[in-house]
């Protein structure tokens, strides 16, 4: 693992919405089963946060998409559930569209079958469960659902309780961002999980800065009104985080 901190392209600090001045927030992009990169990033963040002594409280925000595609979804879920439950940690794990798809399958494996074509095979394998393939047989799908519910145990409750977004000051954290149209953007769960037209611009919502993952890009996207940090960890070996306080910095860990 090679940790790489670097400053992003600097937007004009006078015109950038900021987090609560009492907080120092580290937001981490899409993991997709990369438990190795998660551990490397947590160590890097702990070391980075230890450099500061300005009274700000450290807060960790995970931006969703912990499961599917990569090989270690089970351990990712376990680690994040433990972090969230720890009394000495300030951790927010948000819902991603892949967690939502998995929960839809668990609620109704017939109508939620689309998850099986969405990277679920690797998630199931990480729990020691075989993927049923192309079948639509309710009994077969129900068997997979029951096996996964059993394997998840109390971690199912952790997944079901994941919030769609959090806010600190004038910065909003949501997996796929917010819907820039209309006034009900904080109740538009579909947009926060799956995205919305018009969001991927430098300033999608006046007065707010949105930190998100979801949109796999070769490089982080840092704008005055939007920060995108999904750098495709499961296939690039590169996981990105951003630190937001009085300033900002990107943190990247790589598999070499």
> Is residue 166 assigned to a domain?
yes
Gap between the terminal Cα atoms of the chain: 6
Report the share of the chain in percent with pLDDT over 70. Answer: 94
CB atoms within 10 A of CB 81: 20
> Is residue 12 assigned to a domain?
no
| Domain around 138 | 2-7+19-254
> Is residue 203 assigned to a domain?
yes
Backbone φ, ψ for residue 172 (5° rounding): -110, 135
Tokens of 230: 């999904």
Tell me the CATH number at 245.
3.60.21.10
Alpha helices in 153-250 (DSSP H): 155-160, 189-194, 233-236
Q: What per-residue confidence (pLDDT) applies to 172?
A: 98
CB 66 within 8 A of CB 77: yes
Q: What per-residue confidence (pLDDT) applies to 134?
A: 84
> Is residue 230 assigned to a domain?
yes
For the stretch 22-79, pLDDT in tens is 999 999 999 999 999 999 999 999 999 999 999 999 999 999 999 999 999 999 999 9
Q: How many angstroms separate the CA atoms of 144 and 152, rounded?
A: 12
> Is residue 45 assigned to a domain?
yes
> Is residue 35 assigned to a domain?
yes
Q: Looking at the DSSP assignment, which residues form a beta bridge with residue 249?
A: 243
For the stretch 96-135, pLDDT in tens is 999 999 999 999 999 999 999 999 999 999 999 999 888 8
Q: How many angstroms separate the CA atoms of 176 and 211, rounded?
A: 9
CB 115 within 8 A of CB 105: yes
> Is residue 79 assigned to a domain?
yes
Q: What per-residue confidence (pLDDT) applies to 27?
A: 99
Q: In what order do the strands lie in the sheet with 171-174?
A: 165-168, 171-174, 209-212, 226-228, 221-222
Domain count, the chain: 1
Query: 210: part of which helix (H) or strand (E)?
Result: strand 209-212
Residue 248 has pLDDT above 50, yes or no: yes
CB atoms within 10 A of CB 130: 11
- DSSP for residue 16: S
> Is residue 13 assigned to a domain?
no
């Amino acid at each position: 693992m090679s940790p790489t901190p670097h400053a992003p392209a600097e937007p004009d600090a006078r015109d950038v919405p900021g987090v609560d001045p009492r907080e120092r927030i580290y937001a981490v992009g899409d993991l997709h089963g990369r438990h190795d990169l998660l551990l490397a990033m947590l160590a890097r963040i702990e070391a980075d946060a230890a450099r500061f002594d300005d009274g700000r409280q450290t807060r960790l925000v995970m931006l969703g998409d912990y499961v599917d595609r990569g090989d270690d979804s089970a351990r990712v879920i376990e680690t994040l559930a433990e972090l969230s439950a720890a009394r000495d940690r300030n951790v927010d794990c948000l819902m991603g569209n892949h967690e939502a798809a998995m929960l839809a399958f668990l609620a109704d494996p017939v109508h939620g079958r689309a998850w099986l074509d969405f990277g679920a095979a690797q998630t199931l394998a990480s729990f020691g469960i075989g993927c049923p393939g192309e079948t639509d047989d309710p009994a077969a799908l129900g068997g997979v659902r029951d096996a996964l519910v059993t394997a998840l145990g109390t971690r199912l409750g952790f997944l079901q309780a994941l919030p769609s977004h959090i806010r600190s000051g004038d910065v909003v954290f949501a997996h796929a961002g917010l819907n820039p149209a209309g006034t009900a953007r904080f109740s538009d769960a579909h947009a926060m999980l799956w995205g919305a037209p018009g969001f991927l611009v430098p300033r999608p919502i006046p007065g707010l800065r949105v930190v998100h993952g979801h949109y796999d890009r070769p490089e982080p996207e840092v704008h005055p009104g939007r920060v995108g940090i999904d750098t495709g960890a499961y296939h690039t070996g590169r996981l990105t985080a951003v630190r937001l306080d009085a300033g900002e910095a990107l943190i990247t860990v790589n598999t070499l």
